[in-house]
Amino acid sequence: MNKPLRRVSVFCLALVLALMGWVTWLQAAKAETFKDDPKNPRVAIGKYAAPLGNILVDGKPVTGSQATSEQLKYKRTYQHGSLYAPVTGFSSQIFGSNQLENLYGDVLDGSDSRLQSPADALTRKRAKGGDVATTIDSAVQKAGYRALGGKTGAAVALDPGTGRILGMVSTPSYDPGKFAGSGSSDQKAWQAMSRDDGKPELNRALRQPLPPGSTFKLVVAAAALENGLYSSVDERTDSPDPYTLPHTSTELKNENTAAPCKDATIRTALQYSCNTVFGKMAADLGAKKVAAQAEKFGFNDDEVDTPVRAAKSVYPDDMDAAQTALSGIGQFDDQATPMQMAMVSSAIANGGELKTPQLVDKVTDGGGNTVEENEPKTYGTTMSARTAEQLRSAMGTVVDKGTGSNAKIDGLSVGGKTGTAQHGVDNSGTPYAWFVSYAQDGNGHQVAVAVMVEDGHAERNEISGNGLAAPIARSMMQAALR
């Protein structure tokens, strides 16, 4: 073979080897990447080739599948879609999926290896879709949804002893079935939702951190008792009224100027929601001690997974003494989701032990066999049992004699804390109404609830945690302990 021909042969061989190497790399190293790429049409074709498994509430499906005449043979359907959208999320042939529909997508479409029989594994046949059973109590969910009505807000109900999420409501909501398919009507429904200023796609229960207002006073009270600043909720505090913020001439005052807030006990200060008491208490403790207590409840943790991840609730750092005082009444840069405040109330109800919130009870294969079961998990110990008992007692006073009277329920022990959080420049925005609570029946069964009303369509002077949020919490607690 002459020299030029030999060079051409070697070059061609090198090209063939390079091509074989490239193909091998694509089929081996990159196969899973391409398989999971949402832009790969085969992904959607495989996912919707058969009916999907279902998401369950009270053991019954709140989702389904409907045959189509398109290339994607089945599309997702939803029962009471707006009611359960904050729980299920959506699964759309065009727009993908989110929340449980996304996190458990492999289970629902049968591609999870745990669902395959040995024969399926050998033939690479997709198994029948499995089901995801939630912890949601339909009665609690419906009670919260009806009570929120046309308001913009959210509510979360937890079982303090297990962390099971019994209700998770966000309004306004949306019907995920309206854009589950691939037609023009589905596209129009998605566009309409995206343009809606009410942001119905936002899960406010998990993803909307806002100033928690006076509900944060429970965290400061826990810090004061745990750090020995005060020995009990009935010891008088050192609290002037009004209170001048440290190193400033700015006076912190109380909404109710007739309230007995001067040197009030923690019980009385919670009963009347005394800003002066908790502002000074936070400043006396210092930001580090308040932060340490807040973080025991879950603040500043950006990995609170239910398994749907909650937005981080924030207790700020790098504050001076005056800012620390304002943070003590749930203002300055404090931010909390309704889930976070439900965790605070849940820990108090459960003797100081905080259980990790859980939305999924178990996962089953297409034959109903359990492949994953979630046992209760402890997030951490937030306070001593004595401190928790003291705070439960004081929260009971808030409902029996104080600002939380609208949460009273005959036959149940109920405790709560109201909050009306300012926002906007110079408090120009509509205040947020909060209520956090717990209830217990005669058999020791408990529920913890947090409600946030972002916009109750009420006059500014009519917005309060007791007026707007407490009745919603009461409805959910009644349903949980019915």
- Hey, which residues are catalytic here? 214
Nearest CA-CA partner of 144 in 482, 429, 477: 477
Q: Which two tokens stand for residue 269?
A: 């200060």
Which amino acid is located at 60 in the chain?
A: K
Cα→Cα distances 386→33, 121, 220, Å: 53, 55, 16
Euclidean distance between CA atoms 466 and 464, whole angstroms:
5
Round to whole Å and give the CA distance between 277 and 262: 8
CA-to-CA distance for 43 and 34, rounded, in angstroms? 9
Q: Quick one: how far is CA 66 from the chain centroid?
A: 30
**C-alpha 278 chain-centroid distance:** 26
- Distance from the Cα of residue 48 to its chain's centroid: 29
**C-alpha distances out from residue 424 to 211, 331, 469, Å:** 11, 11, 20
Nearest in space to 387 (alpha carbons), one of 268, 233, 159, 270: 233
Distance of alpha carbon 358 from the chain centroid? 10
User: Using CA atoms, how far apart are residues 270 and 250, in angstroms rounded to an integer?
Assistant: 23
Rounded to an integer, what distance in angstroms lies between the CA atom of residue 363 and that of residue 344? 28
Give the up-direction half-sphere exposure of residue 8: CA atoms within 13 A in the CB hemisphere: 5
Token output for 261: 């807030």
CA distance 281 to 190: 49
Q: Which residue shows structure tokens 């109900």?
A: 157
Answer whether 114's CB lies under 8 Å from 365's CB. Answer: yes
Determine which helix (DSSP H) or strand (DSSP E) holds 436, and give its type and residue range.
Answer: strand 432-440
459: left (phi over 0), alpha (psi -120 to 50) or beta: beta
